[in-house]
Amino acid sequence: MKVKGIIDSMNFSSKNIEQIFYNDDYIIEDVKSQVSFNPKRWRDEFKKALTKNIIEAKIIHTSNGLTLPIKTYSVSKQKQTLEFAGLNGYSQTSSLLKQLLKSLLEQLEDSYIVRIDIAIDFTKIPNKVIKALCKHRVPFKYANTTYYKTVKEKKTNAHIDIKTYNKSKKAKLDYPLERLEFAFKGKYFNKTNLKDLKKIFKKMEKSIKKFSDLQVEISSI
């Protein structure tokens, strides 16, 4: 029996990606640039710090109250990265994010995919899945989350990050829900455009099978 894998986050990269927001439905706020630097605004909005490798940062404000981060990294100064996080978050905000992303797909189709997080939700993650994960990686628990790391990697993996956590606690749900999450990174996609998204689903499903022994069918956006 197959289980569903849902896209929870997507990041896109291209030159001047902010231009798709040049209309009256959006406001672009500079947070870090040659003339501005306001790291507190970034932390307040996204609960994360502006790291040193981010040389430019902007916040996109939508007409229905959403906020999206756009970042430029020092390793790719000619490209901007746009993030959609929490697409499968069991909230009104998640629904609005999905609607916004769907409305922008055509404009984003030539951008590169630099991250996709696939969420697989269970009432309780089966023990056989945990055992399969531990065959390939070493578990490391921090707060509410257990990360599965390779022996050699440190904080991040350039290809795939894997973690499990209590989604009920994180999303303040009144029913039990645990999440297994695979974060596929830029090197995994190797310059894949958004318009070719469905072509890489099979590759991602095979990777999930390899690590968790789960037969997963990834749902499109």
Residue 1: the pLDDT is 62
Residue 156: the pLDDT is 74
Contact 7, 31 (CB under 8 A): no
Query: Rounded to an integer, what distance in angstroms lies between the CA atom of residue 53 and that of residue 73?
Result: 6
Query: Rounded to an integer, what distance in angstroms lies between the CA atom of residue 78 and that of residue 53?
Result: 14
Helix (H) or strand (E) holding 73: strand 67-73
Question: pTM (2 decimals)?
Answer: 0.94
Residue 168: the pLDDT is 94
pLDDT tens-place values along the chain, 221 residues long: 689 999 999 999 999 999 999 999 999 999 999 899 999 999 999 999 999 999 999 999 999 999 999 999 999 999 999 999 999 989 999 999 999 999 999 999 999 999 999 999 999 999 999 999 999 999 999 999 999 999 887 667 889 999 999 999 988 999 999 999 999 999 999 999 999 999 999 999 999 999 999 999 999 88
Query: Rounded to an integer, what distance in angstroms lies between the CA atom of residue 111 and that of residue 82?
Result: 10
Residue 42: the pLDDT is 96
Query: Rounded to an integer, what distance in angstroms lies between the CA atom of residue 192 and that of residue 6?
Result: 19
Q: 75-109: string of b/e by CB count within 10 Å (b at 16+)?
A: eeeebbbbbbbbbbbbeeebeebbebbeebeeebe
